[in-house]
């Protein structure tokens, strides 16, 4: 892994300071001078208090920084920031995309940035808000070797593990595969607790058994505790999980691979959001299962 000179990494830019972005940016700030921008300026306050420079526009970030991390909600938001009309300086800049988007969009974005004279690195992460705060995310990165050598030392400030996945869009495709496991895992866990509550099994006892056995993981322990205590404070919010589930399903449709589990999960997270859980953690997907049970019983009684 090659090093980079201070002139190349100071300041580093960061655009998009949501729950994850703000935590990741805070870890970068501990290592490098940082210039940040967010559409809602109030989101910059904490970083500004810690020493970050707050830019007046995304364009200003690209003027000051040669490496710019971008973590925005979706493809339209990314397009709105990068513009590709000449107003954003992309030549001799490296764009590090941390957003979760479709692999096809990422491949197109890479091409457009290179045509503008810049470089592009995919760097989606696995992990929720707490690992982002702790700097223990798993980062998956793709791009040309020179760009990865330049950016990887910075990413290590945010992650406990950095995995090179191959050429673009391999990192984002990997992220969708990881999300498939995460989403189906948590949904299956919720169904286990719902089955237990409907069949007279104590939730705390079930949690003890699951936490003590070979299937236990940091995710299952965290989400099992949330379900048991009805603690819906979001680590990974329902709308974000629904977005990711739809991305997986869409990619499966494009490649023609079967995706029965993610298809059902997509329905359940959409139902959870409709039931008023948009601000809640993904563990609240149990609400959709409870609602289906109640609806089914109502229909049975009506019959």
Active site residues: 175
Residue 118, by phi and psi: left (phi above 0), alpha (psi -120 to 50) or beta?
A: beta
Tokens of 16: 């998009």
Alpha carbons 193 and 208: distance in angstroms, whole number:
12
Backbone angles phi, psi at 67, to 5 degrees: -120, 125
Among 119, 102, 103, 123, residue whose Cα is nearest residue 111: 119
Helix H or strand E encompassing 138: strand 137-142
CA distances to 8, 142, 147, 265 from 94, rounded to whole Å, are 11, 13, 7, 36
Asked if 58 contacts 68 with a C-beta cutoff of 8 angstroms, the reply is no
Alpha carbons 183 and 121: distance in angstroms, whole number:
25
CA distances to 90, 147, 193 from 58, rounded to whole Å, are 12, 21, 45
CB count within 10 Å of CB 159 equals 24
Asked if 90 contacts 82 with a C-beta cutoff of 8 angstroms, the reply is yes
Alpha carbons 229 and 251: distance in angstroms, whole number:
35
Asked if 280 contacts 186 with a C-beta cutoff of 8 angstroms, the reply is no
Tokens of 68: 């710019």
SS3 for 110? helix
């Amino acid at each position: 892994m090659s090093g980079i000179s201070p002139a190349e990494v100071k300041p580093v830019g960061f655009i998009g300071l949501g729950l994850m972005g703000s935590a990741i940016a805070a870890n970068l700030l501990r290592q490098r001078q940082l210039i940040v921008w967010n559409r809602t300026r109030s989101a910059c306050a904490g970083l500004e208090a810690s020493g970050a420079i707050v830019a007046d526009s995304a364009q200003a970030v690209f003027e000051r920084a040669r490496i710019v991390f971008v973590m925005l909600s979706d493809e339209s938001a990314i397009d709105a920031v990068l513009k590709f009309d000449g107003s954003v300086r992309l030549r001799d800049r490296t764009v590090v995309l941390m957003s979760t988007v479709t692999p096809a969009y990422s491949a197109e974005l890479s091409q457009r940035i290179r045509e503008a004279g810049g470089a592009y690195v995919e760097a989606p992460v696995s992990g929720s808000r707490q690992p982002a705060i702790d700097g223990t995310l798993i980062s998956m990165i793709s791009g040309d070797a020179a760009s990865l050598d330049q950016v990887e030392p910075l990413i290590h400030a945010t992650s406990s593990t950095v995995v090179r996945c191959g050429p673009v869009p391999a990192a984002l495709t990997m992220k969708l595969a990881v999300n498939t496991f995460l989403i189906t895992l948590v949904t299956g866990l919720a169904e286990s607790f719902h089955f237990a509550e409907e069949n007279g099994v104590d939730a705390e006892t079930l949690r003890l058994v699951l936490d003590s056995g070979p299937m236990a993981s940091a995710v299952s322990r965290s989400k099992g505790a949330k379900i048991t205590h009805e603690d819906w404070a979001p680590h990974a919010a329902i709308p974000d999980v629904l977005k990711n589930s739809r991305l997986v399903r869409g990619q499966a449709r494009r490649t023609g691979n079967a995706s029965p589990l993610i298809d059902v999960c997509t329905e359940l997270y959409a139902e959870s959001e409709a039931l008023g859980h948009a601000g809640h953690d993904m563990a609240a997907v149990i609400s959709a299962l409870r609602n289906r049970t109640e609806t089914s019983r109502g229909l049975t009684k009506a019959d």
